[in-house]
Structure 1
Amino acid sequence: MAAVYEEDPSLERHFKGHRDAITSVDFSRAKKQLVTGSMDSSLMIWNMKPQTRAYRFVGHKDAVLCVHFSPSGHLVASGSRDKTVRLWIPSIKGESTVFKAHTATVRSVHFSNDGQSLVTASDDKTIKVWTVHRQKFLFSLSQHINWVRCARFSPDGRLIVSSSDDKTVKLWDKTSRECIHSFCEHGGFVNHVDFHPSGNCIAAGSTDSTVKLWDIRMNRLLQHYQVHSSVVNSLSFHPSGNYLVTASSDSTVKILDLLEGRLLYTLHGHQGPATCVAFSRDGDFFASGGSDEQQSEMDCGIHHKKTKSQDSGRIHEQQDEETSLANTLEHILGQLNVLTQTVSILEQRLTLTEDKLKECLENQQKILQNKTN
Structure 2
Amino acid sequence: EDPSLEKHFKGHRDAVTSVDFSINKKQLASGSMDSCLMIWSMRPQMRAYRFVGHKDAVMCVQFSPSGHLVASGSRDKTVRLWVPSVKGESTVFKAHTGTVRSVHFSSDGQSLVTASDDKTVKVWTVHRQKFLFSLSQHINWVRCARFSPDGRLIVSASDDKTVKLWDKTSRECIHSFCEHGGFVNHVDFHPSGTCIAAAGTDNTVKVWDVRMNRLLQHYQGNAVVNSLSFHPSGNYLVTASNDSTLKILDLLEGRLLYTLHGHQGPATCVAFSRTGDFFASGGSDEQVMVWKANFDAGDYGDVLKTQKSGTSVDGTHHTLQSEMDCGVHLKKTKTQDSGRSHEQQEEENSLANTLEHIMGQLDVLTQTVSILEQRLTLTEDKLKECLENQQKIIQNKMS
- Please, what TM-score do these two structures have when normalized by structure 1? 0.81
Task: For 2:177 and 2:157, locate their aligned partners in 1 and report how far apart those are by CA, in whole Å.
Answer: 9
Distance 1:267 1:348, change over 3 A: closer
Q: Rate the CA distance shift 1:66–1:336 in 2: closer, same or farther, 3 A.
A: farther
Structure of higher RCO (CA pairs closer than 8 Å, 6+ residues apart): 1
Q: What is the CA–CA distance in structure 2 between the aligned matches of 1:348 and 1:334, rounded to whole Å?
A: 14
Shift of residue 334 of structure 1? 3.9
1:301 is the counterpart of 2:289: yes
Match of 1:219 among 210, 213, 217: 213
Per-residue deviation, residues 5-29 of structure 1 (Å, max 9, x unmatched): xxx9742421100000100000001
**Alignment match, 1:316:** none
Percent identity over the alignment is: 81
The partner residue of 1:16 within 10, 35, 55 is: 10
Superposed CA RMSD: 1.9
Among 227, 246, 250, the alignment partner of 1:253 is 246
Contact 2:300/2:332, CA 8 A, preserved across alignment = no
Q: Could you say which residue in structure 2 is the equivalent of 1:69?
A: 63
Greater shift, 50-59 or 336-345, is seen at 336-345
The answer to whether residue 17 in structure 2 is matched with residue 29 in structure 1 is no
CA–CA separation in structure 1 for the residues paired with 2:227 and 2:183: 13
2:234 to 228, 241, 248: 241
Contact 2:229 2:272 in 1 (8 A): yes
Q: Contact 2:19 / 2:29 at 8 angstroms: preserved in 1?
A: yes
Instruction: Supply the distance in 2 between the matched residues of 1:204 and 1:49 (Cα, whole angstroms).
Output: 33
CA distance in 2, matches of 1:9, 1:263: 14
Whole-Å separation in 2 of the counterparts to 1:261 and 1:240: 15
Query: Residue 120 in 1 paired to residue 108 in 2?
Result: no
For 1:356, the equivalent position in structure 2 comes to: none
Once the 2 structures are TM-superposed, how far is the Cα of residue 337 of structure 1 from its aligned partner?
3.5
Residue 217 of structure 1: how far off its partner (Å): 0.5
- Cα 1:72–1:182 change in 2 (3 A) is same
User: How far off its partner does 1:339 sit?
Assistant: 4.6
Q: 1:347 to 1:46 in 2, by over 3 A?
A: same
Query: Which secondary structure state, in structure 2, belongs to the residue aligned with residue 276 of structure 1?
Result: strand
Name the CA distance, whole Å, in 2 between partners of 1:278 and 1:349.
26
Deviation of residue 62 (structure 1)? 0.1
Change (3 A) 1:211 1:272: same
Residue 347 of structure 1, CA deviation = 4.3
Specify the alignment match of 2:296 in structure 1: 333
Contact map agreement 1:23 1:289 (CA 8 A) in 2: yes
One-letter amino acid of the counterpart of residue 174, structure 2: I
Alpha-carbon distance between aligned partners in 1 of 2:235 and 2:288, rounded to the nearest angstrom: 24
Distance 2:3 2:248 in 1: 16
1:49-198 mapped onto 2 (5 Å cutoff)? 49-198=43-192
Match of 2:329 in 1: 346
Q: 1:261 to 1:59 in 2, by over 3 A?
A: same
Distance in 1 of aligned mates of 2:331 and 2:35:
48
Question: How far apart, in 2, do the equivalents of 1:266 and 1:220 lie?
Answer: 27
TM-score by length of 2: 0.76
What is the CA–CA distance in structure 2 between the aligned matches of 1:213 and 1:255, rounded to whole Å?
14
1:288 aligns with 2:281: yes
Deviation string, structure 1 residues 123-168 (Cα, Å, up to 9, x no partner): 0000000000000000000000000000000000000000000000
Aligned length: 314
- Quick one: structure 1 residues 242 and 102, their matched pair in 2 at CA, closer, same or farther if it must change by over 3 Å? same
Please give the alpha-carbon distance, in whole angstroms, between the structure 1 residues aligned to 2:218 and 2:9.
33
The amino acid that maps onto 1:255 is I
1:266 and 1:100, CA in 2 relative to 1: closer, same or farther beyond 3 A? same
> Structure 2: any 5+ residue segments left out of the alignment?
306-324, 334-399
> Is the Cα–Cα contact under 8 Å of residues 240 and 340 in structure 1 kept in the other structure?
no
CA contact (8 A) 1:197 1:237 kept: yes
Partners of 1:240 and 1:336 within 8 A in 2? no
Which residue of the partner structure matches residue 353 of structure 1? none
CA drift at 1:230: 1.4
Alpha-carbon distance in structure 2 between the residues aligned to 1:134 and 1:13: 37
1:274 aligns with 2:267: yes
Deviation for aligned residue 1:115: 0.1
Distance 1:345 1:44, change over 3 A: closer
Deviation of the 1:174 alpha carbon = 0.1
Q: Which amino acid in the other structure matches residue 243 of structure 1?
A: Y
